[in-house]
Amino acid sequence: MRTLLRPALSLFLLLSAITGLVYPWIVTGLGQAVLPAQAHGSLLLRDGQPVGSALIGQHFTQARYFWGRPSATAPYPNNAAASGGSNLGPSNPALVIAVTGRIAALKAADPDNRQPIPADLILASGSGLDPHISPAAAHYQVERVARARGLAPDAVRGLVAQSTEDRKWEIFGEPRVNVLRLNLALDAAH
């Protein structure tokens, strides 16, 4: 028994050291050297202070800011510790109530807006943390944001255009707007 236990324990300790210490140290070092911003969480700064990550949505509710995609995380929106969707199907009455409430909030914030509401402003993402909205969702909000900030709508449209990211390598995904980056650009402009 002892002849089997000693090599097994030695192998366990060796593999624990490799996979628990050496490998993470190498990967962390490579990440820091090759992609330092991403390795530090893709943090966005204002006046040298972190205000959020470009990878995790923020919950904006003031009329002067662009609103992101709804979040179904609990106990508060965009809770990175509780990532996940609501898993409500189209026939679930709770989904209908949630969507109806989101539509009402958008109409209350901008009652004169007669444009169709883009789906990403009323339906939560699968993770509940999506930091992006579609360009259509951003353009839907331009008039409200411009009015609340006292800016010309064309100036706000220009910031949306500057903040629109193209498809990844021109083939993956769709054009998108990072809401936190756009709102930081708005704050810097006004």
pLDDT at site 146: 94
pLDDT at site 137: 96
pLDDT at site 143: 95
pLDDT at site 169: 85
Do 57 and 69 meet the contact criterion of CB atoms below 8 Å apart? Answer: yes
Question: What is the rounded radius of gyration, in angstroms, for the C-alpha atoms of the chain?
Answer: 22
pLDDT at site 41: 79
pLDDT digits (tens, 9 = 90+) for 98-124: 899 999 999 999 999 999 999 999 998
Distances (CA, A) of 32 to 26, 36, 73: 10, 4, 30
Do 127 and 78 meet the contact criterion of CB atoms below 8 Å apart? Answer: no
pLDDT at site 71: 87
Per DSSP, helices labelled H in 18-134 are: 23-34, 36-39, 93-109
Cα–Cα nearest to 62, from 186, 157, 165, 163:
186
Low-confidence ranges of the chain (pLDDT < 70): none
